[in-house]
Chain A
Amino acid sequence: MADREERRFAEVSRDSVKLMAESAGVDLGDDVAALLAEDVCYRLREATQSSSQFMRHAKRRKLTVEDFNRALRWSNVEAICGYGAQDGLPFRSVKEGELFFVEDRDVNLVELALATNIPKGCAETMVRVNVSYLDGKGNLEPQGAVPTAVQSLSDDLLKYYQQITRAILGEDPHLMKVALLDLQSNSKIAALLPYFVYVISGVKSVSHDLEQLNRLLHMVKSLVQNPYLYLGSYVRSLVSSVMYCILEPLAASINPLNDHWTLRDYAALLLSHIFWTHGDLVSGLYHQILLSLQKVLSDPVRPLCSHYGAVVGLHALGWKAVERVLFPHLPAYWANLQAVLDDYSVSNAQVKADGHKVYGAILVAVERLLKMKALSLSQPAEGATNAQSGSVMGAMGYRVSSPGLSPPPEPLSEAALGIASHLQAGGAGCPWEEWTPVPLPAMYCELYSFFGDSLAVRFSTGPGFGSYPPCTPSQLSDTRKEPSGPASNPDTTRKMPQLTANLNISPRQDGSPRTDPPPPSLAATGSGRTLARSSSVQRSRSSSSRSGQRSTGLVFTAVEKPLEEELRAEVEELRRFFLQENPCVEEGRLGKLLEKALSVHHSDVNVLNAEADERRYDFTSSLYFVIATLTTMGKTWCIKDIMHESLFFDLENNVI
């Protein structure tokens, strides 16, 4: 329709008519030309008006050349050919003559005919259905996602894009939060995804600015968490951006004052989050990630911060990744690290500090590895322990096999290496493609050889535990512990050299030099003896004897058993219920979270309440966050406990 401004219609001037006539070889008088011009204008308007109904019936908003031609055809006027193309026609003007024309480029037919790049036909028309609103409420999934179409942005989207990127990369933290939140919940931004991914890929250009990197990572997080977005192949791009933050020696890390470690930790978390939630979108993603992490790790030229990144990345990807990549590489890598750590020269101070970071990260990773490994070993035995499950069951969900029945550790007393018949290689340096699982004892032995006592906190070793130093005396500063193992068990277990994960001990607690009593252990461990609980610091101070602990345990068991069992059953019921309702939650992780939360709770940090307030923080991510932050951060040497707590909150705030 014509615009409603002063000039309502396009007009054809008298001169134009005259010119046309001249070109056709007719000489027109002025008045004739004027009349003609007027008539032409009228006819044009008429045709335009009648063409609009074709537009309306085609249910479009845009009047096309086709519509106009139809109107012409129905009024018995020849259609105008040559303007049917969908793309806009460039309209040019010549200044001197005040002439406007449509640019008509020459088309080289020969070139066109011989061209090798045959244009693709457009995809087949199809109908796709999706439930848009269930019971009149809420979008379940984005409607009509067209994965391949390269969409041109509408004005609204463009505006949205500009506002969001400006807000996220801008100065105002509040604005950023709002923007991130919207990014996380907006269901209509599918078309913008490529653009956001592109923005995020800009991490490479801002590697000097930690703040910006952080913000971009938050953006990744929001996108990943947006339930309406189908990331598709963009996952790869996002992962590569995140990996950049994890692995690259960022420009920002030159200055030791910059806390790029946190960034790497956060990026690692994010990586694992992307991987767990969207890993299935790209095949082979896991292997690619592992490969690149391995490459970095095995490259001695890389700075320590890169190595650190690789380790936390592996750690974030789960203990299996650690077992596959980190563990085999450890012997080779250890030498390098040791060299750094042993250099006490002043010039090396900074590097050494970095080295300690790496050391800490590795330690955390392998400890988790050992724990999980032990857990996975004990799991199969579960079925057999039915009879005792009531007492064996850990309140926090860890089923630790009853020592007497746990089969795998049997041969431990014989040798550290290569005992099990299926064990073929020690594991060191063996590429993960031909990776064979290393039995836990062997692994433990090997790791112990690296870390020494720092590692021993994880396991208690039986008296007959080969060539290794006997289990460090447990810290028994408290009697509140409730070693709830079956009272009949201790005897058998004592004789049986074994390796059982004491899963209720968090690394943080262990690492903390705190002197206040650790929380009551709700986990049922096989026997009091396995409750070895010490830290590198505390170990030296521990004084109680193992037998003493056992006896106290027995007493307590006897006294408190009925009540405790009741409580335990209740908690167990709760836990099972929760797991049923949230199938996405892995049992092990839940346990871990709760364990952590409880332990933190006992340090007077009210994690659970904080979480309850934090609605925007979805469960899985918070789970990951809490676990990984605590496990990663908790073990880094130099961080003091108090600092640690504040850090925890800092991070918590950051993530929002």
Chain B
Amino acid sequence: MAAVQSGVGDGVEEKDIKTEPPTDGFGNNANDGRVLSSSPGSSAPAASGKPAAGGTPEDQQTLLAVLQFLKKNKLTESVEILRREAGLPEDAQDAKGADSSGSGGAAGSVDLEGGDASALLSRVTVSSSAAAQAPTKAAEDQPDVNVVLSAYSQQGDPALYEVYYSGLKRFIETVLDCHRAELSQVFYPLFVHMYLELVYNNHENEAKAFFEKFSGDQECYYEDDLRVLSSLTKKEHMRGNETLLDFRTSKFVLRISRDSYQLLKRHLQERQNNQIWNIIQEHLYIDIFDGMPRSKSQIDAMSGSLAGEAKREANKAKVYYGLLKEPEIELPLDDEDEEAENEEGKPKKKKPKKDSMGSKSKKQDPNAPSQNRIPLPELKDSDKLDKIMYMKEATKRIRLGTDNLPSICFYSFLNAYQGLTAVDFTDDSSLIAGGFADSTVRVWSVTPKKLRKVKSAADLNLIDKESDDVLERIMDEKTASESKILYGHSGPVYGISFSPDRNYLLSSSEDGTVRLWSLQTFTCLVGYKGHNYPVWDTQFSPYGYYFVSGGHDRVARLWATDHYQPLRMFSGHLADITCTRFHPNSNYVATGSSDRTIRLWDVLNGNCVRIFTGHKGPIHALAFSPNGKFLASGATDGRVLLWDIGHGLMVGELKGHADTVYSLRFSRDGELLASGSMDNTVRLWDAMKAFDDLETDDFTAATGHVHLQDNSQELLLGTYMTKSTPVIHLHFTRRNLLLAAGAYNP
């Protein structure tokens, strides 16, 4: 889809994204984060790791090209910022600044760099004059693709491919059982690469035969990819195919024990099987570990992603998964609830603090990030009031458990013929919003309190600003209604999120924008443009102010509401980002993707700190446990996987749903996990038990090898049918009542 790139440059980030394919998909995300940290609101540390020498020469060239572009367009301020951020010396810039991009005869010293820069620019500007300057690359519309594909150009005898492959197959089938499972992992990447080589070298018939013969051997969870592959039989088609590009640009990661690897290596060298050896060398990344080979089930649990498993190093970074300290808020004595009962009032005052914050209010959680790791907005008075409300509610919370399941209320969207695509509740469950395929966003009040707009400016002038009930007076009673419709998007609204203070609403749409709406005036405040492709999901930080969005362009962006450009860009996913979630401490962001991986990003520096593989289909639901330790994810394969964030391990697999899991939510105290699916059911799982049974010894933590017991049935506490209504959102109220929502499909 993204094959044809729009000719008109769309700004800085566009270029950055598109230059990323030539570099390693894993390596460059931090880089991107740094580049984009130029936004004013971002915290300083981002730039610190990036002195001029930080990147490779290519990086620098890219930067120079960007600078040049900016300069040409008279964006002097941006030039300044970028140069400061990137640490580029002034003189280097000046030296090149003399010759503008179009000039043919450049000074000899900068000739090489200048050529590259204009090659880059040629993709942005329409000027074709640069073609002469950069003969090889500029001629192609997408030079990077060519570079990638040319790796296939080595010619082998097409007829021998089958022989090689079946030779290896025979070998692996004869090795000891303990090694066989591990070595079988190489089949799929080998198969794909060999097939692509055949296609690339125009051996269409051989490729087809090869595919016919061996595609049946591959694991069933690769079926979707194989289907894409099978339709591809021409070299020309390879150019625009994103899946393939992903396959090429990223090395397929395998985890193999040292013994098995030696076995394979010896075999290939004995046989002089260079064809296969080359592929393994070039396109595969084999993560060798010492110890027992893994079993088939262990391997199957972790594999399935587009680019194999995560490297072990990828999950080594320390993650501060603890919760932030709650601000001390004096809970005022209740005047309504406990009149004149001071003796009783006191214990009540203490209790909620204990309940809601636990020991964290006393001392810092060792796993928590420091309070000011990322700047968080100040608490307003209204926020404090809301916190107090929250604590009060929390004291009335029902403790859920295996023998005390929550009541479920279902919010059915009736007559939603236009197509309901997203739903969100406010934290206090007073409002519900729906995003629709007809580009509208609708907000309903689910309490008797109607939705009212603020009066117009003229009317606001008339009211008495000193009066006590000024907040009430500014509301226009005439506009009171049960629901409001927000118009502004020009495509289906796929993601929707309320701000924690209930003043704003975010919506992301197919039109490539994220919009911020005011729930005071019910108008659009900002349209955040940056994703140039459909934005699949967006979510507010639990502390407000920040929000994250992710979409078809494979990049998740972190925004602040008062900046029209993103603060961070998280890139690294190999396919669409389908869902985004903030960690409860707001320091991390989790993204799920169609590449069947989940990544956890550090908001502070934009690094990818966790990669979770194991899903066999695009991920459509994510949920952090309230204590921040665990993550649950649901995918189109109907499975829910549980992850330990601290150790970076898969800790559970919940099987039961028959269709895509679209919603996941932990109960307020984290005892239960509720999952809602396309199969018209809500299922409740015993999260306590799932996490309790966990033994994370050092070995598992070090190797990342998990033994998952198949105890889905024990953990499943209940299955609740709806009436032909897919469950697309779940929400636990502050008192642990489960709310589910979906559109009734007659």
Contact = CB atoms under 8 A, between A and B. Distances in A.
Chain A partners chain B: yes
B241 to A, nearest CB: 7
Contact of B412 (A2, A49, A127, A137): A127
B232 interface: yes
B641 interface: no
B432 A127 contact: yes
Contact of A58 (B231, B421, B442, B722): B421
A346 interface: no
Interface stretch (B28-36, B330-338, B340-348, B401-409): B401-409
A222 B149 CA distance: 69
Contacts of A127: 411-414, 432, 434, 444, 446, 483, 741
A134 B407 contact: yes
B404 A135 contact: yes
Residue among B408, B492, B578 having the largest count of chain A Cβ atoms under 10 Å = B408
Interface in A71-88: 71, 74-76
A584 interface: no
Given A59-B726, A131-B409, A136 B718 contact: yes
Contact of B723 (A39, A58, A190): A190
B253 interface: no
Interface in B560-590: 576, 578
A547 to B, nearest CB: 67
Interface string A168-198: 0000000000000000000010110000000
A188 B415 CA distance: 19
Contacts of B291: none
A191 B726 contact: no
B105 interface: no
Interface string B482-509: 0100000001101000000000000000
Interface stretch (A147-155, A484-492, A532-540, A569-577): A147-155
A143 B722 contact: yes
Given A131-B408, A133-B407, A146-B414, A50 B1 contact: yes
A8 B227 contact: yes
A132 B227 contact: no
B258 interface: no
Given A57-B578, A58-B492, 10 more contacts: A46-B240, A71-B1, A75-B2, A76-B4, A124-B415, A126-B483, A127-B411, A127-B432, A128-B412, A136-B405
Interface in B506-528: 510
A136 B406 CA distance: 5
Residue among A1, A76, A152 having the largest count of chain B Cβ atoms under 10 Å = A76
A17 to B, nearest CB: 16
B410 interface: yes
B618 interface: yes
A254 interface: no
Contacts of A38: 233-234
A122 interface: yes
15 contacts: A42-B231, A50-B1, A54-B534, A57-B578, A58-B419, A59-B662, A59-B726, A70-B510, A75-B4, A123-B415, A126-B413, A127-B434, A133-B407, A133-B408, A188-B721
A67 to B, nearest CB: 10
Contact of B724 (A1, A2, A124, A154): A154
Contact of B3 (A57, A75, A137, A149): A75
A274 B43 CA distance: 71
B519 to A, nearest CB: 16
Interface of A: 1-2, 8-9, 38-39, 41-42, 45-46, 49-50, 53-54, 56-61, 66, 70-71, 74-76, 122-137, 142-144, 146, 149, 151-152, 154, 188, 190-191
A473 to B, nearest CB: 65
B448 interface: no
B650 to A, nearest CB: 23
B442 A74 contact: no
Interface of B: 1-4, 227-228, 230-234, 236-237, 240-241, 404-421, 432, 434, 436-437, 442, 444, 446, 483, 491-492, 494, 510, 533-534, 536, 552, 576, 578, 594, 618, 620, 636, 659-660, 662, 678, 684, 717-718, 720-726, 728, 739-741, 744, 746
A654 B92 CA distance: 100
B579 to A, nearest CB: 10
A518 to B, nearest CB: 53
B405 A135 contact: yes
Nearest to A2: B227
A91 B203 CA distance: 38
B725 A144 contact: yes
What are the 5 tightest A-B residue pairs by CB atom distance, in nearest-first order? A136-B405, A144-B412, A151-B746, A133-B408, A144-B744
A125 B594 contact: no
B681 to A, nearest CB: 11
A142 B414 CA distance: 14
A53 B228 CA distance: 14
B720 A132 contact: yes
Residue among A58, A70, A127 having the largest count of chain B Cβ atoms under 10 Å = A127
Given A125-B415, A126-B415, A49 B410 contact: no
Contacts of A58: 419, 421, 437, 492, 494
Contacts of B660: 56, 59
Contacts of B2: 74-75
Contacts of B446: 127, 129
A55 to B, nearest CB: 11
Contacts of A122: 415, 417
Contacts of A151: 746
A163 to B, nearest CB: 19
Nearest to B510: A70
A136 B717 contact: yes
Nearest to A228: B723
Contacts of B726: 59
Contacts of B718: 133, 136
Contact of B636 (A56, A133, A135, A152): A56
A75 B244 CA distance: 17
Contacts of B227: 1-2, 8, 49
Given A56-B636, A59-B420, A42 B411 contact: no
A265 to B, nearest CB: 37
Contact of B576 (A53, A152, A190): A53
A146 B411 contact: no
Contacts of B406: 135-136
B494 A128 contact: no
A134 B737 CA distance: 10
Contacts of A42: 231-234, 237
A188 B725 CA distance: 12
Contact of A136 (B234, B407, B421): B407
A123 B240 CA distance: 44
Given A9-B231, A46-B241, A144 B405 contact: no
Contacts of B241: 46
Contact of B684 (A70, A125, A136): A136
Contact of A133 (B436, B536, B720): B720
A66 B417 CA distance: 14
A123 B746 CA distance: 14
Given A8-B227, A136-B407, A149-B746, A59 B421 contact: yes
B662 A125 contact: no
Nearest to B4: A76
A128 B739 CA distance: 12
A152 B724 CA distance: 12
A86 to B, nearest CB: 8
B232 A144 contact: no
A132 B409 contact: yes
A75 B241 CA distance: 11
A136 B744 contact: no
Contacts of B418: 125
A61 B678 contact: yes
A146 B228 contact: no
A154 B723 CA distance: 12
Contact of A125 (B228, B232, B413, B739): B413
Contacts of B419: 58, 60
